[in-house]
Chain A
């Protein structure tokens, strides 16, 4: 089984390699205008330059700040509202489909309204990021707490568990694996929507930089920033996947 997985990774790597090779091939042979698509090598040079000079730092700082604040709001509100909703079967029946319904509409359409309300700066990005991240958090929190095995609750009650003991030692650990999945989805969705909204209307941030370079016909620099954002996304999702797997390991 182990060597099989090795082969899978090899094929995946070869696929990405082939895509990059194709890119280099079409640009090196002048099949696409360099103004539209720069060569892989020039983009790479810009990327290396970007890393060496550290010129990405101010934009990274803005985007990370927006992400951290948006996620903190979504996680706090989502967990609180989700837990309160899970308390009675009635509120689960009313609000769970409601949240799921709102989650299924493209909330990014609220972005122009948020720009009017919160301005072009970080405010509107935080607002859209936390709005979009709220839903997976709240939905999973409801699912996690509402579906705690009744047997655990009965056993704890029979042994004399108090209200706080029931919450901290039974409900929370039982619901945790489901809640953490919601938090992971929320974090990644917040990141995507913040980057996306920065490309629509913004003053600074990674998305802002990407769209600025595109508009100033400097696609090699644009790709350097795209590389940077892709690497950030990969690092972020690998980190939260790892954390989630670690947390769930104890949960047999």
Chain B
């Protein structure tokens, strides 16, 4: 585990309910979740579809407000988006298609309130960090799926926040691309020391990237168990093929298996 020097994010008894009481369509997306995230830690959220992992991410990012409970960052209650502290990376390409890659990064900086003179340099640095400098003036439609996600990562990194929230960022990519992107991400994270919460469906990805993995139960979403992956960053191929990774992946599968069955039964 990376150096744990204090709590950054506290999730205390948070529930998220959609729909009024008595409504047949009422959904408890997240039920009484509590969690503490340490500085510089990479926490993966994994669980069956609709278990509330993305909801939890949105609550931490301030894009939604919880029905009950409280989320706080650096001891301050989250009331809305906090762009100075938290950057977001989405599942599909959330790049603005009418702007070039570098203009996407710069627009993010403008939204965050970075002075105009500073934007060029910071955007350059961010694109460099993800190896996309040569494609700075391309439009998103001209990029491959992997490159789009790297551009999105650059936009998030450019914001220079301490916290990065990633909502299945590699879900739309093929498995090989995903694994290579995972390696790159691990290297990048070891360098920047950011606190990261990463939602994924992939067991291997979760173990490969995370310091801890929070396993969610099927709806109503609860945090069932938190597993530690004691392994330093950056991680590389040898960890990908190690027995330790397989063992942890199998452990996750055991935990998730019954939950997945439940969701299958529910939708039948």
Contacts and interface: CB of A to CB of B under 8 A. Distances in A.
Interface string B134-158: 0000011110000000000001000
B142 A252 contact: yes
A162 B111 CA distance: 7
Contacts of B59: none
Interface string A155-177: 11111111001000110011010
A252 B141 contact: yes
Interface stretch (B85-93, B179-187, B193-201, B228-236): B85-93
Interface stretch (B32-40, B94-102, B115-123): B94-102
A106 interface: no
Contacts of B81: 157-160
Nearest to B140: A252
A109 interface: no
Contact of A155 (B88, B139, B140, B141): B88
Contact of B92 (A151, A159, A250): A151
A159 B98 contact: no
A166 to B, nearest CB: 9
Contacts of A9: none
A99 to B, nearest CB: 27
A102 to B, nearest CB: 32
Interface in A141-194: 151-152, 154-162, 165, 169-170, 173-174, 176
B63 A158 contact: yes
Contact of B97 (A157, A169, A251): A251
B97 A252 contact: yes
A159 B108 contact: yes
Contacts of A176: 98
A156 B63 contact: no
A169 B107 contact: yes
B5 to A, nearest CB: 26
A165 B111 contact: yes
Contacts of A152: 94, 96
A214 B139 CA distance: 55
B98 A160 contact: no
B169 interface: no
A237 B84 CA distance: 48
Interface residues of A, number: 20
Contacts of B86: 158
Q: Which of A151, A158, A176 has the most CB of B within 10 A?
A: A158
Nearest to B61: A158
A151 B94 contact: yes
A155 B97 contact: no
A161 B111 contact: yes
Contact of B111 (A151, A160, A251): A160
A165 to B, nearest CB: 6
B113 interface: yes
A251 to B, nearest CB: 5
A170 B81 CA distance: 17
Given A158-B86, A252-B140, A165 B94 contact: no
Interface string A84-96: 0000000000000
Nearest to B142: A252
Given A160-B83, A160-B84, A155 B98 contact: no
Contact of B98 (A154, A161, A162, A173): A173
A149 to B, nearest CB: 8
Contact of A159 (B97, B99, B112): B112
Q: Which of B63, B86, B111, B141 has the most CB of A within 10 A?
A: B111
Contacts of B99: 173
B141 A170 contact: no
Given A157-B63, A158-B86, A160-B81, A252 B107 contact: no
Given A154-B63, A252-B140, A159 B111 contact: yes
A160 B84 CA distance: 8
B139 A252 contact: yes
A184 B268 CA distance: 49
* 3 pairs of A and B residues whose beta carbons are closest in the complex: A252-B141, A160-B83, A155-B94
Interface of A: 151-152, 154-162, 165, 169-170, 173-174, 176, 250-252
16 contacts: A151-B90, A151-B92, A151-B94, A155-B88, A155-B94, A158-B63, A159-B108, A159-B111, A159-B155, A160-B84, A160-B111, A165-B110, A176-B98, A251-B98, A252-B98, A252-B141
Given A158-B62, A159-B159, 16 more contacts: A151-B94, A158-B86, A158-B88, A159-B83, A159-B87, A160-B83, A160-B84, A160-B112, A161-B111, A169-B110, A170-B96, A173-B96, A174-B98, A250-B98, A252-B140, A252-B142
